[in-house]
Amino acid sequence: MVGFVLTGHGDLAPGLTSALAMVAGELPAFAQVPFTDETAGSFGETLAVAMADLAAETDGLIVFTDLLGGTPFNQAMLASVEVPDVDVVTGANLPMLLECLVARGQGATRAELVATAVSVGKAGIANKSVADLLAPPTGADAAPAEGI
């Protein structure tokens, strides 16, 4: 199983972890490492240890971070030099994490999970109005032609 580490600024990692557990239940091979004012001094080491520990018991690792270029991302990239078989994915959001959990449970490889994370992460961002939701379906979503 591929391990997942979730990190980000403030309460992002604990908050997303709580939401994931609420929707998906148990989160095996999953760790969260929040970056806060209180943990800033030891954050890099704490993240590196969490990554190494989880990598030792999994088939590779994906670290999900919040911001490209932020401290959690930068520290994950630095730690990934020492921990083998790690991918770092930035822009973590709930749809991305949920789909990755499902795909991981179905045996997806680390490369497939990274592709899923990027694809679903982008697709999870949309601007919809009530009118969009109430509009009749068109195209492939429309009702089948009569007689079919």
- Tell me how many domains the chain contains: 1
Q: What are phi and psi of 108, to 5 degrees?
A: -60, 145
pLDDT digits (tens, 9 = 90+) for 30-51: 999 999 999 999 999 999 999 9
The verdict on residue 148 lying in a domain is no
Q: What is the pLDDT of residues 110-136, one digit of tens each?
A: 999 999 999 999 998 888 888 888 888
Partners of 33 in beta bridges:
7
pLDDT tens digits, 49-76: 999 999 999 999 999 999 999 999 999 9
Which amino acid is it at 121? G
Domain enclosing residue 84, as ranges? 3-141
List pLDDT tens digits, range 15-35. Answer: 999 999 999 999 999 999 999
Question: Is 106 a member of any domain?
Answer: yes
Kindly report the pTM of this predicted structure: 0.87
Estimate to the nearest angstrom the gap between the alpha carbon of 146 and the chain centroid.
Answer: 43
Of 29, 39, 28, 34, which Cα lies nearest the Cα of 15? 34
CATH number for the domain harbouring residue 132: 3.40.50.510
Tell me how far apart the alpha carbons of residues 58 and 21 are, in angstroms, rounded to a whole number: 20
Res. 147: pLDDT tops 70: no
Counting residues of the chain whose pLDDT is more than 70, the rounded percentage is 93
